[in-house]
Structure 1
Amino acid sequence: MSENPTQPTGIDAPTTQPAAASPTGSPTAQEPLVVMRDVNVEFTSSTGTVHAVRDVNLTIYPGQSVAIVGESGSGKSTTAMALIGLLPGTGKVTSGSIKFQGQEIAGADERTMVKLRGAEIGLVPQDPMSNLNPVWRIGTQIAESLRANNIDTSGNTDAAVAELLGHAGLPDAKRRAKQYPHEFSGGMRQRALIAMGLAAKPSLLIADEPTSALDVTVQKQILDHLGDLTKELGTAVLFITHDLGLAAERAEHLIVMHRGRIVESGPSLEILRDPQHPYTKRLVQAAPSLASARITTALREGKTTEDVFTHHDGLDSREDVIRVEHLTKQFPIRGAKGAKSQVTAVDDVSFSLVQGTTLALVGESGSGKSTVANMVLNLLEPTSGNIFYKGTDLTTLGREELFAMRRNLQVVFQNPYGSLDPMYSIYRCIEEPLAVHRIGNKKSRQTRVAELLDMVAMPRSAMRRYPNELSGGQRQRIAIARALALNPEVLVLDEAVSALDVLVQHQILQLLAELQDELDLSYLFITHDLAVVRQTADEVIVMQQGKLVERGTTAELFDHPQQEYTANLINSVPGLGIDLWSADSSV
């Protein structure tokens, strides 16, 4: 990168770049691969002009790995799309220069950009399911990318496709090429997109949140493999991400964007250890993976777990609010017969949630953790086993008794955009549970909604607005307010912060901690993010393929995991191995 290393914000005019590392690691003087100077991007909307990117300067050298970080709306993806000429809608580069391999491409015609895309600049988009055609076989789609980039397959396209898929880490590539996207897991689909992005051996690969939808262990496998492939090919990589831990671990150089501007730029570890801009400091402070890294570093330096953990003490002296005994859930497989006619999603799971504490249920996708949560909430009926709420067996209750019991058990779902009715005002969204349970009159319910908005730090004026007028973090606050309307004792948080930007995620986690202390709430936290677990949970249960494989306090589990599976989950947290001990004391 060519931003001035002596200038903390890295946004001034370019200065001389030291010799960049070649793909083999030896310093060599190289010409820049990408040079963006004073680039501005604007979008035209019905309400006027939106300045999405302002005066951006960046340089990428051959073989270099660079990450742009920032929250949603910061301009990081827009910057990358301006480089590849794929700005959506009315977006256009209004001023500035973009040079690729010395060629000016700002304002280039579509024919020029088509020649560059794929062949010289590859792209791995964020969501693999929406970026693969669901009615085309995987092999057909990769063959199409080979043809589009004029890659010679010597008449044997099937073999070339299988070779690419194999190179991307997919076993049994010939058979996999004949399958459809829905037959692939998320990690497999992402590998297919990486194969397509690297098919033409481009000079630059743009990876736009390439693993944000994946489990932490799959994420690590994908990024490890991507790193190996790009190093082998000498490809430069531009990561677009909001995960500072991932950025620091995978990129040599870090660019921090905020409200369309670059506010800080420099070597990754230097920025993480000594951030200069207030926004960067907030990002570093809020990132769960870096908080986990700070804990690890502190423990390595001789501090005790009591020094760095702030979880509840005296768990043994508290009563169980939820107790699950030998819970099993089987689902029928359509068309199958005999012993293979059912799949066991949850297999003989037992645990308890202590009053006023947080119990985290962790594991990869398909481990059964969400199925357990749905049975605790009585949204699924167990095949066998029992669920007790304060000694009452929920599996024996009738319909009316269960309806009354639901007041004590509420849920906050993962997607803040899908969990609120878009046709309801915010007032009606929060008031609905009160009306359904016939609590109070209209005036008392208005008072209660106002109290709940205060509780989640939202202005009372928000009750007149609609979900589409709120940000993701604001919607999640409303979802929490709605869940608290009936004064529950237990909240089931099903990936409740995983869809949020790191700063918003941090705010929601702080809010949940404050509400727990104030209201003595008990949380059943369903997540695959062990970095968040380390910050928030008192106890942890690890699930694998429907079985409970390990449990313990958070400190015990992270300090001394007993199962290799648990150790792999912990070691896969991005940025966990970064030594932040020399960081500024404010971080």
Structure 2
Amino acid sequence: MTDPHDSTTPPASDHDVEQAVTRAVLGGASASDEVDHPDDANPLLRITDLEVAFQSSTGMVPAVRGANLTVYPGQTVAIVGESGSGKSTTAAAVIGLLPGTGRITGGTIEFDGRDITHLTTKQWVELRGSGIGLVPQDPMTNLNPVQRIGTQVKEALTANNVVPRSEVGARVATLLEEAGLPEAENRVKQYPHEFSGGMRQRVLIAIGLAAHPKLLIADEPTSALDVTVQRRILDHLATMTAELGTAVLFITHDLGLAAERAEQLVVMHRGRIVESGPALEILQHPQHPYTKRLVSAAPSLASARIESAHAHGIQVTDEELTGSGLGSISTKEIVRVEHLTKEFDVRGTKGEAKTLLAVDDVSFALRQGTTLALVGESGSGKSTVANMVLHLLEPTSGRVFYDGEDTTAYTEKQLFALRRKLQVVFQNPYGSLDPQYSIYRVIEEPLRVHGIGSKKERQSRVEELLDLVALPRSTMRRYPNELSGGQRQRVAVARALALNPEVIVLDEAVSALDVLVQNQILYLLNDLQAQFKLSYLFITHDLAVVRQIADDVVVMEHGRLVEAAPSDRLFDHPVQDYTRELIDAVPGRAIQLNL
């Protein structure tokens, strides 16, 4: 279930009106048809008036409505839109993998001159892999955890009869090397859990391209990865597909990322294609109101606009006019960490005890009423630092000060009192709320634990908190599974505010959200900071978000602090190569936008 308070999109307009708007924007066809292309006469993929619906207890629910799309050999086309827009459903229809009760109820899908709308199971098996490949979104759920990597790549080769059986073993190692995995011969014997996220994604790319398909569908292939890893993987994917002459249908919710990687953009909203055309043209001159909202909300594009504005001599942009406004004048330190170090005992390959130095001599200060962003790739130690600040982990050495007091040696009673002033919002809005608790109980729990107010007073406080995060009071009677991701994160923010804290630690608090919802939460956080003079310790790997909201930035690499500076200075004049690499990897940064 969704709620009007969690959506920036207006109610769906009449079908005929929206179709008329779409036709006006597209000129009656996909803009791909209007671009000079060497293979204009022979499109590889042509989708015409596609309708997809899912069977429910109340009848068929439409998911894709009248979609038209053309992809030519060797071309990269990106479909963008938020969750529920129909982009992944369209891709699933193309490869014949509609989930559950999904059915194509109208229109046609032609691949390589052949209508594939109603293929038999045997025909689909023959087409997948060799004709249409797939790189799915989440490598952890798409790789079998109990099978070796080599076995899973081998399956793709044998299923498509790519090479003789005697050559399969050698070809598996070659595929992994081509996908950018070092020491491929040793990697084939390992299991998915022994790989990093980026390495697992490379395995999926190797599987998707194993049979040299004519079309590769890449469905949010890097959404769970750090920006630097994301960039390396997409660069490698682009090189491989170019060498093979493979066309790519790229599915993403990040408009800046899509514009960097695709020649053509297709924007989907509520099951319909509302705009299509050359990537840069859409970014600079969006026509449909929904596309305008996407362009405005995308952090990657906002970061590009800030860079472009500074290059034109404009010192402050709309994107930078956020927060409490205390950034340049606040000097009081509310949290300070000195020489924090954290070691973990781990088991080596043969069972011997080893020590992992996760955080190595880190010091920084959070100024009152400001936002300090702690950034770095996965494994850099930033979340470990946050957990030590929150006293969820005990430092091996070093100290944490709160409002001038050393909290390292606090008693349990003192820590309990400190937690009223120091709260946290976690990354995953689906995992951080108890599914068996009503929203009322979720928000009321910290009040009850700390013995604040009577039952009636606590209910009044919960209603007040729901108002603060722009959720209707009726939400308190619902359960987490009845809310969208953005609504759940608003509930998490409300819970964090329940005890009137002074500092909130936000651990990747917007990374799991769609761009429009992410934008709403960022503005909500900024408004709350201004209203209550809150201080934020913002943990993230997304420098596009950091560019919009942070007053100060601390960069971590391999457990060490490598650079710290005010936001403007760090982005305009980074000192370390690692910081430059992080900034340069922000999608959309290279795109020149008209202001």
Q: TM-score, length-normalised on structure 2?
A: 0.94
> Could you say if the C-alpha distance between residues 123 and 335 of structure 1 is closer, same or farther in structure 2, counting changes exceeding 3 Å?
closer
Verify: 1:381 aligned to 2:397, yes or no.
no
Per-residue CA deviations over 1:88-143 (Å, capped at 9, x if unaligned) read 00001011111101111112111111111001100000001110011111111101
Compute the RMSD of aligned alpha carbons.
Answer: 2.0
> Could you say if the C-alpha distance between residues 94 and 183 of structure 1 is closer, same or farther in structure 2, counting changes exceeding 3 Å?
same
Match of 1:515 in 2: 528
Q: Distance in 2 between matches of 1:314 and 1:74?
A: 38
> Could you say if the C-alpha distance between residues 520 and 36 of structure 1 is closer, same or farther in structure 2, counting changes exceeding 3 Å?
same
Match of 1:481 in 2: 494
Q: Distance in 2 between matches of 1:100 and 1:335?
A: 50
Q: Distance in 2 between matches of 1:504 and 1:325?
A: 36
> Could you say if the C-alpha distance between residues 87 and 302 of structure 1 is closer, same or farther in structure 2, counting changes exceeding 3 Å?
same
SS of 2:420's partner is helix
> Could you say if the C-alpha distance between residues 125 and 432 of structure 1 is closer, same or farther in structure 2, counting changes exceeding 3 Å?
same
Match of 2:373 in 1: 360
Match of 2:299 in 1: 288
Aligned residues: 575
Match of 2:9 in 1: none
Q: Is the 8 A contact 2:30 2:277 kept in 1?
A: no
Match of 2:131 in 1: 120
Q: Distance in 1 between matches of 2:350 and 2:26?
A: 64
SS of 1:407's partner is coil
Per-residue CA deviations over 1:477-500 (Å, capped at 9, x if unaligned) read 000000000000000000000000
> Could you say if the C-alpha distance between residues 243 and 6 of structure 1 is closer, same or farther in structure 2, counting changes exceeding 3 Å?
closer
SS of 2:419's partner is helix
> Could you say if the C-alpha distance between residues 317 and 38 of structure 1 is closer, same or farther in structure 2, counting changes exceeding 3 Å?
closer
- The residue type paired with residue 9 of structure 1 is V
SS of 1:9's partner is helix
> Could you say if the C-alpha distance between residues 14 and 209 of structure 1 is closer, same or farther in structure 2, counting changes exceeding 3 Å?
closer
SS of 2:341's partner is strand
The match for 1:437 among 430, 441, 450 is 450
Match of 2:10 in 1: none
The match for 1:451 among 431, 441, 464 is 464
Q: Is the 8 A contact 1:5 1:266 kept in 2?
A: no
Where do 1:144-293 residues align within 5 Å? 144-153=155-164, 155-293=166-304
Match of 1:400 in 2: 413
SS of 1:155's partner is helix
Unaligned runs of 5+ in 2: 1-18
The match for 2:482 among 455, 463, 469 is 469
Q: TM-score, length-normalised on structure 1?
A: 0.95
> Could you say if the C-alpha distance between residues 459 and 313 of structure 1 is closer, same or farther in structure 2, counting changes exceeding 3 Å?
closer
SS of 2:140's partner is coil
Unaligned runs of 5+ in 1: 22-26
> Could you say if the C-alpha distance between residues 351 and 466 of structure 1 is closer, same or farther in structure 2, counting changes exceeding 3 Å?
same
SS of 1:395's partner is coil
Q: Alpha-carbon deviation of 1:318?
A: 2.4
Q: Is the 8 A contact 2:130 2:160 kept in 1?
A: yes
Verify: 1:324 aligned to 2:330, yes or no.
no
Q: Alpha-carbon deviation of 1:8?
A: 5.0
Per-residue CA deviations over 1:31-89 (Å, capped at 9, x if unaligned) read 01011111100101224321000011111100110000000000000000001100000
Q: Distance in 2 between matches of 1:91 and 1:70?
A: 20
Match of 1:370 in 2: 383
Q: Distance in 2 between matches of 1:16 and 1:290?
A: 23
Per-residue CA deviations over 1:200-221 (Å, capped at 9, x if unaligned) read 1100000000000000000000
Verify: 1:558 aligned to 2:574, yes or no.
no
Q: Distance in 2 between matches of 1:172 and 1:217?
A: 21
SS of 1:419's partner is coil
- The residue type paired with residue 248 of structure 2 is V
Give identity over the alignment, percent: 67
Q: Alpha-carbon deviation of 1:15?
A: 8.6
Q: Alpha-carbon deviation of 1:259?
A: 0.4
Q: Is the 8 A contact 2:306 2:317 kept in 1?
A: no
Match of 1:576 in 2: 589
Q: Alpha-carbon deviation of 1:415?
A: 0.4
Per-residue CA deviations over 1:515-571 (Å, capped at 9, x if unaligned) read 000000000000000000000000000000000000001100000000000000000
